[in-house]
Structure 1
Amino acid sequence: MTSSPDSAAGSTIGSTTGSTSDSAESAAAPFPRRLSTRIVVLSTVALALVLAMISGTLWLSWQLEGAGAAINDAGSLRMRANAVAIALWEARTGKPAQVDAQMRQLDETLRELRDGDPARPLFLPADANIHAQFERVASAWSDALKPAALHDLAAGAGEPSTYIGLLSGFVDEANGLVSLIERENARKTAWLRISQVALAALSCVGTVAIVYLLYQWFVAPVQRLQDGLARVEAREFHTRLPVDAEDEFGHLAQGFNRMVAELQALYQDLAARVDAKTAQLAAQNRELATLYEMAAFLNTPGPAESVCHDFLTRVMREFDAEGGTVRVVSPDDGNLHLLVSEGMPEALTLAEQCMPAQDCVCGGASAEAPVVFGLRAPGGASEANAAFAQRCLKAGFVSVAVSAIVAQNETLGTFSLHFREEREISASGIQLLQTLGRHLGVALMNRRLVALGRQLAVSEERNLVAQGLHDSIAQGLSFLKMQVHLLDGAAGRGDLDEIREIVPLLAGGVEESYDDVRELLLNFRTKLAPGKLRLAVEDTVARFRRQSDAELTLDYRDEGGPPLPPDQQLQVLFVLQEALSNTRKHAEALHVHVSVLNGRDFSLSVADDGVGYDPAEIASRGESHVGFHIMHERARRLSAALTLDSSPGNGARVALVLPAASRLAA
């Protein structure tokens, strides 16, 4: 059955043959109900027949499977009987044997054949001859062969002649059992084939009937709908389906006609616009993925050369470039220095290691937008950089795209992409290059700032070291220099009494300078782990007690405050060491009290009953009093408050308070 041709106007799809009868039947009864009834009845009959045939074949196959297992076990009787003979022979010759185990296995096989096992499945066919033959086999084993085996086993050395003599008869009986089961299996196999042929025939007849009915009920209307859809896909929006029945397909045809009418009114160039928008979104998604990947990659640690090389390879892959370079601007001479290159001839990279920015197209990118040069096009390269353009042309590159590397409105360099074919980069590609240049610029600037921060930290620490040297060793050496000058004058005059007075002063000055050096070296080497501050404070106090006659008391209280991190612990310890050093050198104190309180806030206090000092006089000296200046520097590093309290004749007190807001996590 085929669809009728279109009408003369070509706007209506003809109905299939047989649709007239459908219309007549639909007028006699409601179509949806009649159609559902037909489907239910047809499905029920087909299902019942199929289930009946399948059940029969499943029963036959189950029988065949059980009989097949029975054939295997019956055949194994021969093997197990021979195994018993071998075990008897080994036992008679003195070798280790398992006669009992072999006999038990044969008994177990006979038991399984007699009782069956539906789970495997295993069972003897329901045939009297087969069961009679099985009983003969079982009797031959239990009445003759098994007693003979036990007799031969008890007889000792020699050939098991009794068992061997009966073995061939048992094997013949087992062969007879196997043959009977095989013949029964062959008969059921024939029935299974007949059932399968009948099932196949029924399937063919049922299939033809079902196909015919389904064609009449469904296929013909669906074909008309499919033909209409094909015409709509071909943009024939004048296509209409005939509505010749008040059924589901009739309603579907009416809906189809309304849909096509609306599409005919709305559809103009929608497909092209959708394709264009899809391509645009795909390009934007690809650019966003590239930016995300690049931003994540540039934020990873690593040397600038490695970062720039990986950046260049990724950009080249994104834009299908055959070569590329990354150049940085030297702050000294303003020239472009080649940092990394990829896919560039060695001669070209050697010739362009360093060059003025205005002498090459690679320096033509500004911070505003990347530029694309066609090296063969007239005006693609200026006269000033024509020689450099010729180098690229000789290397096989005909187009170059150059973008600036920018960070905080500062041009750090440029990166270029070299192409062996003429290349035009879209506006979105130009914007992507510019954004990538900014990302690389930020990454390079961050690495410069990190390096500068490390240099600044080293410089600050060196400054504190210099201040410590000035406050201790430099003053001692100045005193020694003056005493050496006096000693030289006394030696010139031959004044032995003055020499005797100066020499002890020199010895004391040298010993004090030596102690200062050891103290500074100890301070410089001090490293603390989290929770080690108390031990370091106790060591510092013990060293002060060894170096001074003053009586020192320590009050260290831990009131639940979190431990300080190693950096802050070290700064606190330096303040304590500097305060005790000033007390030992200048205070002339009899008693010193050190208090450490680790609570919500951290506080350190060093108080003595020495000669004290005038705070106004110390303030007038500014940074010339290096010890106080160093303690203030340490306090600023901690973001802590440092208080120096003293008056002449009333001792001195140094107090350091680190508030909870300034504490770092250990």
Structure 2
Amino acid sequence: MSSQSAPDDQPRLRNRLSTRIIGASLAALLIVVSMVCWTLWLSWQLEGAGAAINDTGSLRMRATRVAVALLRGESADVDMTMQNTVLARLVEGNPARPLFLPTDHDVQVQMTVVAQSWRTQLQPALVSALAGEGNDIYLDLLPRFVHQADRLVRLIERDNAGKTSLLRFSQGVLLVMAGMGTLAMIALLHLWIIAPVLRLRDGQRRLAAREMGARVPVIGGDELGKLAEGFNQMADELAAAYADLETRVEEKTAQLATQNRELAALYDMAAFLNQPNDIEQTCHGFLTRVMAQFGADGGSVRAIDPRGENLHLVVSEGLSDELEDAEHCMPVNACFCGEATRQGVIVIHDFHAAPTRDFRCAQEGFGSLAVFRIVTPDEVLGSFSLHFRQQTKLSASQTQLASTLGQHLGIALDNCRLGAKEQQLAVAQERNLVAQGLHDSIAQGLNFLNLQVQMLTAAATRGDLADIRATVPLMATGVRESYEDVRELLVNFRTRLDHEELRSAVEEAVLRFRRQTDIQVDLDIDEDGGAPLPPDQQLQVLFILQEALSNVRKHAQAQRVHIQIVNQRDFSLTVSDDGQGYDPAEVAERGERHIGLSIMAERAARIRAQLHLTGKTGHGASVSLQLAREERLSA
């Protein structure tokens, strides 16, 4: 991809911070290197000029030494050779040493004068003097040569002094540039990096303090400028998100408040529906609470008949007597209240939007109607309606809440029906047990008395006083036994137990049995570590004990009875006697004809206990009731 198609948020090359920093650094480096090179060049020039001053001074010295040698008559060939070498070195220069003359014009001209003076005047005079022609010419020319050499030294020194001043000035300038460059770099770094970063940090702190209007100025198009733009964009998005978040929090808070109210309504309704009320009280309490929850001006609860054809008005609020009479019983398809049960939908209707139908609710002045089903998991029981004077539209949550309340009412009504059926079943079972008890005791006694009456009638007809005298005591005994049976049944039917009353009830039953029969009874109760049975189970245990004692009184002809009750983790009751016993095979053959044993078995089955009967002819009988820990109910 070409550079022209680069994203807009990327700064151009010349605007990049890195480009400016590198450019400034390279410019400062170039200036510093140039100044260092300049000072090095000046130092090199001064060093070469200093060597030239030394060699120029040696020209004067050697020229003088040659004059002294000539006056002494010594050889001066070596000095002359060295003099030529030094002159040649001064003229040609030696950069490696370094040694060279300044490039100043006066210095170069004076060097030419000195060199020509030596080559054209002193050297030829020296050669003549060495040849023996006399020293006078050389000695006469020497002062002039020395003067020319001195003048050359002074010119070189003057040039060196200027370059030394220039070197010191350059070093001063370099120091000033170093200080100013440092300050300039600090200023640029502060301008380019530190200040933008500080502005970003300040903006970040302001945002952290929830100052959503915090923004930073965008200066330049470099990376930090783009970063500032990104920060401002982020701040804009955060401000929008924060504002949206506040709105959403308010909305969620309102939703939670609504849900809390709905949960409170559900809780209140569930608490009410769980109370032991009849169907009409349940429907009336439900309707008043629903109307208060939704602000309805009227309402009704209707139930479907068993055939599913008609709706019956159970309760109503805010409706006129005429409307109640007219719609006390109506077909399911006659109005919206029935259509809601048939269609399986919730009907919310605005009467003004349906002018084609004549509604009694509209004639009553209601503007809106909402109908909801009353359901159980298995069937539709009816519907309840809410009437509003003003046009009202329920929200989705309100609709859902009303539907849920309809389900709660349906379950409560179903529970009421099941409770009523359970009570009917319990009454039927008790009646069956009463019938069995009457059949087993009083019916047999009455049958015996009927036979005795027939015998007494026959004896009276014959005038047989002996049979009459023999029959009357038997009839008196039968009446007395029937009377005892009636009293025993009445005591059993009136027995009611609360918590922890089983022991006293058992002791009372044993005491009554002793008074009726004069039979010795041994009672052994062990309640070590066992929790009390609930009243229902206690009552059935007591009935089984009473029935077992009744069988002993009627059939066993016993002298002693032993009763053992063990209430630990398991519960057991054992009633044994030393009477005449019975033949189990004979009892098995009789089956249902022995009503007392059947009654005990049914009562044991009610509490999910096991009943065991054992006996042997002539060796007594035993009744054992075993209630396992798994079947025990909490008291």
TM-score (norm 1): 0.57
Q: Secondary structure at the match of 2:469?
A: helix
Pairing 1:463–2:432 present: yes
Q: Secondary structure at the match of 2:352?
A: coil
Does the CA contact (< 8 Å) of 2:498 and 2:535 recur in 1?
yes
Equivalent residue number for residue 169 of structure 1: none
Distance 2:518 2:240 in 1: 103
Q: Identify which of 337, 347, 353 aligns with 1:371.
A: 347
Equivalent residue number for residue 565 of structure 1: 534
Distance 2:464 2:243 in 1: 115
Instruction: Give the C-alpha shift of residue 302 in structure 1.
Output: 5.0
Instruction: Give the C-alpha shift of residue 483 in structure 1.
Output: 1.2
Runs of 4+ in 1 over 6 A off after TM superposition: 229-233, 253-256, 263-274
Pairing 1:325–2:297 present: no
| 1:427-438 correspondence runs (5 A) | 427-438=396-407
Pairing 1:532–2:501 present: yes
For 2:344, the aligned partner's letter is E
Equivalent residue number for residue 262 of structure 2: 290
Instruction: Give the C-alpha shift of residue 376 in structure 1.
Output: 3.4
Q: Identify which of 339, 343, 361 aligns with 2:318.
A: 343
Distance 2:257 2:328 in 1: 37
Which stretch of structure 1 is more off in the superposition, 460-469 or 502-511? 460-469
Equivalent residue number for residue 446 of structure 1: 415
Distance 2:472 2:482 in 1: 15
Distance 2:231 2:446 in 1: 104
Does the CA contact (< 8 Å) of 2:336 and 2:347 recur in 1?
no
Equivalent residue number for residue 611 of structure 1: 580
Distance 1:534 1:397 in 2: 65
Instruction: Give the C-alpha shift of residue 275 in structure 1.
Output: 5.3
Q: Identify which of 307, 332, 340 aligns with 1:357.
A: 332
- Alignment size in residue pairs: 437
Does the CA contact (< 8 Å) of 2:348 and 2:369 recur in 1?
yes
For 1:375, the aligned partner's letter is F
Equivalent residue number for residue 618 of structure 2: 649
Distance 1:584 1:431 in 2: 66
Equivalent residue number for residue 658 of structure 1: 627
**Pair 641,414 (structure 1): closer, same or farther in 2 beyond 3 Å:** same
Provide Cα deviations, 1:69-93, integer angstroms capped at 9, x if missing partner: xxxxxxxxxxxxxxxxxxxxxxxxx
RMSD: 4.2
Pairing 1:639–2:608 present: yes
Distance 1:283 1:409 in 2: 32
**Pair 302,576 (structure 1): closer, same or farther in 2 beyond 3 Å:** closer
Does the CA contact (< 8 Å) of 2:302 and 2:314 recur in 1?
yes
Q: Secondary structure at the match of 1:299?
A: helix
* Unpaired stretches in structure 1, ≥5 consecutive residues: 1-25, 32-217, 234-238, 245-250
Does the CA contact (< 8 Å) of 1:369 and 1:434 recur in 2?
no
| 1:302-321 correspondence runs (5 A) | 303=277, 304-321=279-296
Does the CA contact (< 8 Å) of 1:635 and 1:656 recur in 2?
yes
Instruction: Give the C-alpha shift of residue 514 in structure 1.
Output: 0.7
Which stretch of structure 1 is more off in the superposition, 504-513 or 557-566? 557-566
Equivalent residue number for residue 232 of structure 2: 260
Q: Identify which of 551, 557, 574 aligns with 1:582.
A: 551
Does the CA contact (< 8 Å) of 1:559 and 1:599 recur in 2?
yes
* Unpaired stretches in structure 2, ≥5 consecutive residues: 1-185, 192-198
Distance 1:27 1:342 in 2: 86
Q: Identity percentage over the alignment?
A: 49
For 2:290, the aligned partner's letter is V
For 1:260, the aligned partner's letter is N
Pairing 1:480–2:483 present: no
Equivalent residue number for residue 83 of structure 2: none
Distance 1:231 1:567 in 2: 71
Provide Cα deviations, 1:233-277, integer angstroms capped at 9, x if missing partner: 9xxxxx974669xxxxxx9x9987534324668999997898589
Does the CA contact (< 8 Å) of 1:602 and 1:658 recur in 2?
yes
Instruction: Give the C-alpha shift of residue 547 in structure 1.
Output: 2.6
**Pair 310,574 (structure 1): closer, same or farther in 2 beyond 3 Å:** closer
Which entry has the higher C-alpha Rg, 1 or 2?
2
Which stretch of structure 1 is more off in the superposition, 514-523 or 302-311? 302-311
Equivalent residue number for residue 409 of structure 1: 378
Q: Secondary structure at the match of 2:303?
A: strand
Which stretch of structure 1 is more off in the superposition, 511-520 or 539-548? 539-548
Instruction: Give the C-alpha shift of residue 433 in structure 1.
Output: 2.8
Does the CA contact (< 8 Å) of 1:298 and 1:307 recur in 2?
no
